[in-house]
Amino acid sequence: MLIFLFFAAALAVAPDCDLERPSGATDCTREGVDALPMTRMQVVGTHNSYKQAISPPEMARLAMAAKGVARTLDYAHPSLESQLDAGARQLELDLLHDPEGGRYADPLGAKLARLSGADLPSWDAGPMHAPGLKVLHVQDIDYRSNCARFTDCLKIIADWSAAHPDHLPLLILINLKEDVLSFPGTVKPLLFDAAAMNAIDGEIRAVFREDRLITPDQVQGAYATLRDAVAAGAWPLLGAARGRVLFALDAPPDQVARYREGRASLEGRVMFVNIEETSPAAAYITLNDPLAQDARIRAAVGAGLIVRTRADADTVQARTGDTAMRDAALASAAQYVSTDYMTPDLRWSAYQVGLPGGMTGRIGPDPR
């Protein structure tokens, strides 16, 4: 019944209607679009959205030591503002716990490159010395970021959102970095303990007012569990979701459990979590393989969940020009499709990802 209602609600809106900028035509009106559940939209976003390129001298050294790894890391994004201006409606930030500051301020990769006489591009280590959560991809190796502190990234997003109050709901994915590198001399990340998990929520709430967020408590309302709420269609309609931001912890089960900290669903938390569809905390799920997981994506959307999938990974599609994964992602019912290539990397191919006709948001494919 829920799937039928969602599909029926979309029938009055043309499939080629840009949900962020309705045209005013009979079947593409703001009133019609705003009456859609937010779970019926599909938008494109970016993976590791903060990431700058590894400097050429450091990339060359990395390729000599681990060519396969170097290939997967050879991509970059412009500023967060530029991505949002270009239509990205999902961003991804990787966090490292740094309560005292300075833990990631002197990367080994840069030190080794300088010792070999390399001339490195400038890098401002100042923000890395401040206490608080840091945003980077791999400590010591892939550390250049468009916004090194989590609060800096959040302020950029919040300022852009305030300046564009009609934007479709932004999903900000959060990854927590705890991996220890095998190379001698690299920094060991701190685990995200209870204090660190609370710090994530605290830094988000320090930047975003409650009415600018979409939180688990808002969606759950009076329902017994978050899963019950989304199954009943409790996500906001697009009209109410415009100009707002939701956060999701895209993390393995052990990190999710630490964040939930024994909660029945996600009471009091800011972020939704990547979790099995049957969990009482289920409202969001990451299903990154649209080729192998299409049926599961459709079932999850039909059950009321928000899904993020990927159009490409590890630079493979950009190097080969293969569009099979991209085409499957856009044909899936996933609301958020993530890519590293909203614009092509012409070193390799013209591969890129976007919605047809340059739309920012469209009605997602029927999940049935």
pLDDT in tens, 77-103: 999 999 999 999 999 999 999 999 999
For range 139-143, the mean pLDDT: 97
Q: Percentages helix, strand, coil for the chain, rounded to the nearest 5?
A: 35, 15, 50
Token pair of 312, please? 């490409």
Q: What is the pLDDT of residues 182-203, one digit of tens each?
A: 989 999 999 999 999 999 999 9
Contact between residue 166 and residue 242 where contact means Cβ atoms under 8 Å apart: yes
Q: What is the pLDDT of residues 278-287, one digit of tens each?
A: 999 999 999 9
Structure confidence at residue 24 (pLDDT): 84
For range 259-269, the mean pLDDT: 97
The total number of residues written for the chain in this structure: 368
Phi, psi dihedral angles at 176 (to 5 degrees): -110, 120
- Residue 1 above 50 pLDDT? no
Structure confidence at residue 11 (pLDDT): 60
**What are the angstrom distances between the C-alpha of 327 and each of 154, 182, 294?**
31, 37, 12
- Residue 71 above 90 pLDDT? yes
- Residue 205 above 70 pLDDT? yes
Alpha carbon distance 150, 281 (integer Å)? 25
Question: Listing from the earlier edge strand, what are the strands of the sheet with 361-363?
Answer: 284-286, 306-310, 336-339, 41-46, 361-363
Predicted TM-score (pTM) of this structure: 0.96
For range 284-305, the mean pLDDT: 98
DSSP classification of residue 362: E
Token pair of 66, please? 């681990």
Token pair of 228, please? 């019950």
